[in-house]
Every structure is written in structure tokens, then in C-alpha cells.
Structure 1
């Protein structure tokens, strides 16, 4: 069936994981360390901006170990090595790395710092690249090395870069202006807001190290990293006066330069360190983002005489609270995306039972339906499409080698999203091809109950995501079950599919505010059997409650596509939960239905009938 739809434009299926050379590469790394008087080093997944998605020239962890996940740390000592990954990637890491060379450690059992403390020999020297760790991370590393009786040193060059002979060039994609019709607020007004914050906080300057915040502040977009329209660079925003951008001039056309130069002076990236020195020479008090600001920034500033105020970048919260234009854009994007996904689900329902479809076929098809909208700029992340046991891998990425067919009586999970100029989408549906087992229906319905609990939540202003997260888990906990990822993450506006500071997770301490967009995606994963996740995006909104004694908030669901009723065990749902599910499907038919062809619309009516 693969010939029915053209190959995906925005994602490939060649496996980027290759552990066959990791033994030789780790040996070469150890030799470099030895020659430089070092006995161990930490290799994070991050780049110089501590990003989740990094350009190819910063895929150091993957190149060294074969692990392709979006989070993890490798620790290489002179006699042993480990890779520490979270619960999303435990199985994937075990499959991808050469375990005769690298031990896979689950983060919940042991952190990288704990492993270092337990394995570094007293008297040995341990090193790190100061551009790849934040101040907090470097402090934890320092404590771990000290506990082991070792000595911590900073490197002036990255050791992986020194042995990576065919390292790709740094990205150099054009900068574009994000129009006001999508941004809803001018860059000059955003700069005024930021400077007002700095004045009130008595700060002299803010260093923007997060490319997402750079994009939002100056209303620019780019293509330096996969699936997120970012242009990598830095900015200085003083409490008063003109901002300064550090971004390659080769990325900036005359037209873009004219617009940006009205907002900021523009310098090449290699001017960054001298500019930090100048701040230090004026004894400036400078805010550096605790989450994305490399320790190298504060080390340089303090060495020059400045004061590093390492805390949250105020832009992160400003960006998270969407304005009315961005909210309207998100609703439009989700309607468009819901139509594309519903067409895909209809096609899948008629095609999958033949047994001729593979996971890659479904990804090609889904991207094609999205391209048919005429508005698709990119996918928002590599599509997760897992059949059978592959669905049990929360972040499974199909390759030509792992591709398998959709089989009868097995679960199929598809987690996907799109980048449109008016909004970023992310949605997951879990389907049964054929007939489900009683266990599948029980687990699916418990996940659905958790999803509904989040969708219906009403809570006072000041409530954090950590306080709400358990609502999604309660139905699973009652059966002795759980899932090893957060219930929800923030979403950008034609930016990152994973955006902070808001989260629905045990670690989500930021209070939720009206205008924030998050995902609602509880799940369940039975290893080597099946996986389940149901995801919609939700908007935090104010709620009016008669007699309320404090401001209240709730969620508006933004995503619209049918939920597979064949997997629902109706006897496990309360009447209120049935009412929500029926009401949600009413909205799907209302919003998506008029845009569909007659046959697809008839199918939608059938699969969203009241239960």
C-alpha cells in the first residue's frame, strides 16, 4: 500500500542509530581524555542552548552511543561507561546501545550524579563541557565528583567534537519574520514588556539563551533544528536602550535585517563572549536563564566582573500565556488538523483490515492528509506510529528496519502533530484493528477515564500541574497500574511542541494561568504487548462559578478527532464520563463534520454515536 501515498516530506525512516562503532568511538574518546589528563567525562544529549531537539552537528550522544532519544546522559570513565535515560527511553536505549560497552541505567533508579559518585575512583579527574550544562547541573555534578573523592575540571573544547571526523556543519537556514496576523503582538511591544520587568527587578540586562524565547521576542522563525521553526542564536536585552542580537548574518536577508535592525543591533555569534566581557566590566547584574543558560555564560560574566543572576527567563512565562490572536490561531489550526486526522482515520478503518498496511505506510498517509490542507509547514515532531508491541514504546520511532504490518486484533497507536503558521498541534489516538481483548478494553477505558478527569477539572487560580497530574492516574492506580511520563506538557504557537514552564506532571510546579496550552495525554504500556495513549490539547481558561470565593480555572479542549469506541468498556464509565464522551463527539461532528466528504462524514457519524 505504500505506493498509494507519496513518501513523507518532513521525516525519514532511515535508522540514525548505529551502535556498531560505539566501542571504537568510546575508546577514541578515552584516548583523547587520557592525553588531556582526564579520567572521565559526561556527554549530555543537549546542545549549547540545552535544547530538547538539537541540530545534527550537536547529536553527540547519538554519534557516540547509538541512542537517538531526546533526553539522556552518557558517563564515560576510563574503565566503564553508562547511559542514564528516563522511563520513556529505557527499552529504546537497551535496544540501541552496545550493552557490552555501555550499561543502561533508568533515571528513576539512579541519576547520572549518583552513578558517578558510586563509580568514579577517588583521586581521578572528571570533566565537563561548560556549554552543555546549566549552573544547577554543574553544581550537582561537582557535588557528585567531590563525594567520590575526585576532582572536577571544565573543558575548553568538547572531546566528542575533537574525534568526530565527519561532524556535520552547523545549521544555516534563513530567518523569517513571523507576521502580526499570527503573532498578535509586535516585537517592539514585547521588548517594552521585558524591559519593564528588568527595571522592576533592578536587573541591568537579560541574556536570552533559549532559541524559543528568541523567536517569540523578535517575532522570528527559522529552520535550524528538526520540526521546530527556530533560528539558533542569543540576545542581550538591557533594562534600557537597544537590544543586541547574536545571529549569523548569512541567515538574514536584507528585508529581514531592515526589520530586525530597528529593534536590535545585530552581531555575529562569535562576538558573544566579548559582549559578555563588556557587561562584566560595567559590573552589570545580568539575568541568565536557569533552564537554558549554559554555565559557561555565568562563568565568563563573573570572570569579567559582572554578577550572574541565574533564575527564570521572564520571557518563558510571557510566551506561555497566549494572546487572543494566538488562541484564535490555535483553534483554527486544530480544526484544520482535526479534519486531516479524521480523513486519515477513516482511510485507516477501511484499509488496515486488509493486512497490507505497515507503520511507515500510515505515517506517509497521515502526512499526506495534512499536506492536503495546503497550510502544513512541517510536522511538529517525528510521528510515533506503533503497531502491536511497538505501541508499548512511548517514544517509538519506526525505521525501515523496524517497520512492521498492522495486524488484526492488535492495537495501533499514532501520536503526531503539525506545524502551521497559526498554531502547533499534537494529538494521539489509539485504535484496535479487529477485536480487542477484555484486558485491552479495561486498560484503554482507565486511560480514557483519566483523560476525562483532566478535561473536566476545575481548580482555583494558583494551582500547579503537579496538583492536577494525579487525576489522570487515579483510575490506573486503582488497578495497580501507572505510566512513566508526565500527563501533559506545554505547547508553543508555531514553536516547540514541548514548551514550558507549565506541565501536568509530578514536576510541574508552575501555577497554571489562563491562556496556557497543554497536552492531556495519560497512557498505559504493557511491555512486548500493547500501548495506549489518548491525547488532546487543552487551553486553560477562566471559569465563572456562582458563589465561588476565589478565581477559578478550567480547560477548553482544542483537539477534535474521534476516540475509538471499540476499545471502550462502557460499564467502567460513570454517567458523567459518558456524558463528556458523547458531548465531545458531538463537538467533533459539529466542528469537523462539515469539512468532510459525504462518505467520511457518514463514517464519522457512525463511529461517534452516543454510548
Structure 2
């Protein structure tokens, strides 16, 4: 499936759709409604049917929500989307709200005196609604679970997806589904829990060693599951998604049921039932409570085991990154030859890069729509080029390309920022500080027990010393031929999940000047045990990162006088490794280019 470049939602549609929604709410006795960018699986990536936030507002970002009130409609967006949202919504109708600096509870109280605010209980977690209720306590504003109000006014809402499921080989997974289910069932028994509800698509796919095609770019299946304490599993999904070979792969201990039967099955369970308060829809715990069943709040049992990759998964990721790194070098070589010629556009660059990935004959799909921003478009952190926004790259500027691929043996995500002509000394200094952040994370060693919030400052220190920073986390978790964004691990000042061996993350600091340029550099890294150091305390175990991504950084943008000898040594060693690992995979032209690009500083 090639990346397409449709025109984005038209902000001009927002006024009428907002008026229609308010009219419907009035008929239902509601004064307002919360429109999240979420489906019942609470995943970041949603099918076209569930793009309610985009349909209503025009905003296409991967995170956010809208609170519609009688006299205001706030679109809550985090730091990644502050620039993007202003160009996508009708600002006369929708107010961008910086979130989480401004939380929904106080904002609602400021803009709404009294009345009932509706929400769809299948699109919000129990934790989310509990926090909002707490924030509204003492006011004359109440929350009411109701049918989805956007669905009621969306005349041509797409149908639910019916992507085919397929088996993911046990050899690539490193463990069979039976082994995984037995391990999780033993943990349930140890906790005195009779069953666990699984709602996250990547958890479901990981546990069953299957993959799907229900959302763009991420090979996941939409379905719900109940894992029993004996290792048996009830899977609730459309039977049309499964052929005989996939059903055989699931085995006799996995029973497939129609999705509508999930409610009755849930209420027929023996308790206590484990439910993830932060990811499962509120409707799940409500249905259990209505049946008199005890809810045992606990993390999705798949999330941490899924995050700690097996050696087979890590080895698959290594091979996928070498294949992908060679495709990236072919693209960078092409770009250097093409950029001096007139007329290069962002879309042309995106298509060229995807073409090199397809030339590997191993590409399942790209792992997300490529971010390719020239000049000021690079400052839009999650910019997605369209036919409408497509920009000629021009000269004396920066080009930011954030892209990735899905291969059967691994998922990749890489960002490089390139000089097109001479972008100037200031841009080079900023680039070098961002690169210093990449190096700091790559070289880190730390004692077991530390989390993303502990390491995140390392990526920002060089920028901080120049009075600069970036408004996104330093890194996200990444799945193995699964979602390119995967929890619970993160490199972020808000993450308290301790790092464990096998966790894969992105390492992607950046710097953005609105209206001018954006810089981001990204490698994927995997947590490994750190070897003992002579003179170190033998009882103190440490961890470190192994770099998975191999492609050159742009030497033309590196200001060596800003770097320490150790940083220069890291860059030279990394570039030497890039050349050794990739040169036999490259065309003669790209091999010659790579040798020059990887020359020592």
C-alpha cells in the first residue's frame, strides 16, 4: 500500500458539523460532549470509522480530543501539534488548548457553568473519566455515559474494518502463543484472578502470534479477548477476518466468537476479573459491576512481557534495520544528487524513499505516513505532506524526513535532517546540539531501576545550555512487527516505567523554530545488560543501549568545535560501523556515497 497524499479535512466543514452536533445534543438533553481521538481499543492508531475528531474538527494529529460546550469547543493538543492544529481547524469555531498544561476539568469549569456533559463509555478509560469527575467535583456540571453523538450525525461514516488476520511465525516471536498464555495464566492464578480482559490490539496480536490489517500502517487486528486462568482464551472478532490456516494457527484453546457476544461473555465470568484501568474502556468495568462481579484493577498482562523482546525478536529487529538502513542510504544518495536540481518537492522525496524500501522485496508496508518537511514545514513535528501542502524543497534550507517500515521480522523508525545547500551557521549549531542529545542517550549507562524520566534530561542538556528545548518526549517504545508506537516504556520526563532488558525505544531529540525549520534525529535502541567495568561495584548491575539503526548523519551540519573528543569519537565509531554493516548491501553508487558520508570528522 503506497502512501497517498489526499487533501486534508477542510476547516470550512467545521462550523456546520459543530452546529449539527450541538443540535443533536440538545435533543438528547445534553449540553456538551467529549470527542476523543480513540476507538474502543484505546490505541493511538484508529480506523477510518473512528476518526471522529478529524471529521468534526479537521485536526489530523494522532493524539488529542475536543470538548464541545454550548459556547466553546476546545481542541486539546500536546506540544507536537501546537503549530499543526492552527492550520487545520476553523479557529472561529474551535479553540486550540495546550494540553496537558491546561487540563480539561478546569477548562470546562471556566467555560461552562452548569449542565450535563456526555461521553461514550466505550471510548474513554475508567481512569480518564474518574480524573475528570474529580476535577468537576463541587460544580454543577455532571457527566453522563451515552451513545456516541458524533456517530449520530455522521451520514457517511465508514464501515468497521475487515482486514485479514494472518499468522506470525513462532520462530520470529521467540515463543508460541501457548507458552505466552500459560505464562500469563500462571500470573493470574498467583494473583487470585480468574480472568483478564484484553482490549489493546497490539496485546492481542502479541499474545496470539497473529497480525492483522485493521488500521493503516500497523499490522494489528481489532478484537477483544478474555484470557482465563487456565490459559484458554475467548477471542471476540469478526469471523470474516480469519481463514482456515489462521484458525488452525490459533489452536483449540482459542475460541472465536462474534464481537457482539462480548458483553454477555463478560457478565458470565467468575470473578475477580483483571481490567486495566488506564486502557480498557469504562464500559468493561461498568458491565462487570452491573453483573455483580469484582473488578481487579491491574495492568494489561501483555504489556510488559510484550515490551521485553525475546532474543529472536531483537535479532529480527537487527536484520530489519540493516535492510532498512541500506534503503535509507540509497535514498540519501539519491537526494544529494537530486536536490541541486530545480523542482524537488516533498512528495517526490517521500515516493523515492518508499521506492527504495519496496526494492528490498521484503516490505510489508511503511510503518507510518512519512513525515517529510522542508524549511518551515519541518517545524510542524508530525507534519504529513498532502497535495495541498506539498512544498518545493528549494535551496539553503533543511529537509526533515521521519519514516519507517514494517517488515515481517521487525519495525523501523528513523529520522534524518539534511542540508539542502547552505542552511546557515545557526541551523548547523542547532543540529549539532540535537546530535549531542542522540549521543548522550546512546552512550548512557545506568543502574537497574531507572526509568525514562531519569534519562530524558541527557537528551536535552546541550539544548538547555543554549536556552533551547523541544516539546515532545525523547523516545517512544517500538513493537516487533507491531505498532511503531508501543507502551509502556518511554524516554520521557513523565515516564516512571523502569527500563528492562529487551525494551526497544526511539532516541529522537529535536529542535523546531516555527516558520523557519525543524531538526530531528532518530535511531532505535534496545536495552541490554551493561558489562561490568573494572573498578566498578560488582553488586551494582547496570544497563545500556544497543543501537539498532544504521544510516549516516549529515556531516555538513556538524559543528565539531561544539563537540567533546568523546562525542567526536562516538560519531566516527558509529559511521565506521554504518559502513561495515551496510556496504555489501548497497549499489555501487550508494556505496561510494556512503564511504564519503561516513568519513571521520
**What's the offset of the Cα at 1:11?**
1.5
In structure 2, how many angstroms separate the alpha carbons of the residues matched to 1:398 and 1:451? 26
Does 1:496 pair with 2:483? yes
Q: Structure 1 pair 241/106, CA: closer, same or farther in 2 (3 Å)?
A: closer
In structure 1, how many angstroms separate the alpha carbons of the residues matched to 2:482 and 2:231? 28
Partner of 2:544: 554
8 Å CA contact retained: 2:36, 2:123 = yes
**What's the offset of the Cα at 1:30?**
0.7
Partner of 1:202: 192
Does 1:71 pair with 2:63? yes
**Which residue, 209, 215, 219 being the options, matches 1:225?**
215
**What's the offset of the Cα at 1:142?**
1.4
8 Å CA contact retained: 2:35, 2:67 = yes
**Which residue, 253, 262, 280 being the options, matches 2:243?**
253
Aligned-partner SS, 1:314: coil
Partner of 2:326: 339
Aligned-partner SS, 1:399: coil
Does 1:119 pair with 2:117? no
Partner of 2:259: 269
Aligned-partner SS, 1:592: helix
Aligned-partner SS, 2:42: coil
Partner of 2:203: 213
> Quick check: 240-249 or 165-174, which moved more?
240-249
Q: TM-score, normalised by structure 1?
A: 0.97
8 Å CA contact retained: 1:120, 1:148 = no
**Which residue, 441, 452, 465 being the options, matches 1:454?**
441
Aligned-partner SS, 2:66: strand
Aligned-partner SS, 1:223: coil
In structure 1, how many angstroms separate the alpha carbons of the residues matched to 2:451 and 2:46? 29
**Contiguous gaps of at least 5 residues in structure 1:** 1-8
Does 1:152 pair with 2:143? yes
**What's the offset of the Cα at 1:98?**
0.4
Partner of 1:516: 503
In structure 1, how many angstroms separate the alpha carbons of the residues matched to 2:229 and 2:199? 17
Q: TM-score, normalised by structure 2?
A: 0.98
Does 1:444 pair with 2:431? yes
Q: Which 4+ residue blocks in structure 1 deviate beyond 6 angstroms?
A: none
Partner of 2:34: 42
In structure 2, how many angstroms separate the alpha carbons of the residues matched to 1:222 and 1:314? 21
**Which residue, 121, 128, 134 being the options, matches 1:130?**
121
1:231-289 C-alpha deviation (Å, 9 max, x unpaired): 1001111112521111111111122223324231110000000011102xx4x111112
Does 1:593 pair with 2:583? yes
Partner of 1:193: 183
**What's the offset of the Cα at 1:143?**
2.2
Partner of 1:390: 377
**What's the offset of the Cα at 1:423?**
0.2
Partner of 1:487: 474
Does 1:607 pair with 2:594? no
**What's the offset of the Cα at 1:19?**
1.8
**Matched positions, count:** 598
* Structure 2 counterparts to residues 10-89 of structure 1, below 5 A: 10-89=2-81
**What's the offset of the Cα at 1:600?**
1.5
In structure 1, how many angstroms separate the alpha carbons of the residues matched to 2:308 and 2:243? 30
**Which residue, 336, 350, 355 being the options, matches 1:363?**
350
In structure 1, how many angstroms separate the alpha carbons of the residues matched to 2:549 and 2:278? 29
Does 1:107 pair with 2:99? yes
In structure 2, how many angstroms separate the alpha carbons of the residues matched to 1:60 and 1:261? 36
**What's the offset of the Cα at 1:355?**
2.3
Q: Structure 1 pair 233/499, CA: closer, same or farther in 2 (3 Å)?
A: same
8 Å CA contact retained: 1:126, 1:145 = no
Partner of 1:325: 312
**What's the offset of the Cα at 1:108?**
4.2
**What's the offset of the Cα at 1:147?**
4.2
1:443-488 C-alpha deviation (Å, 9 max, x unpaired): 0111011110000000011110110000000000001110000000
Aligned-partner SS, 2:226: strand
Partner of 1:471: 458
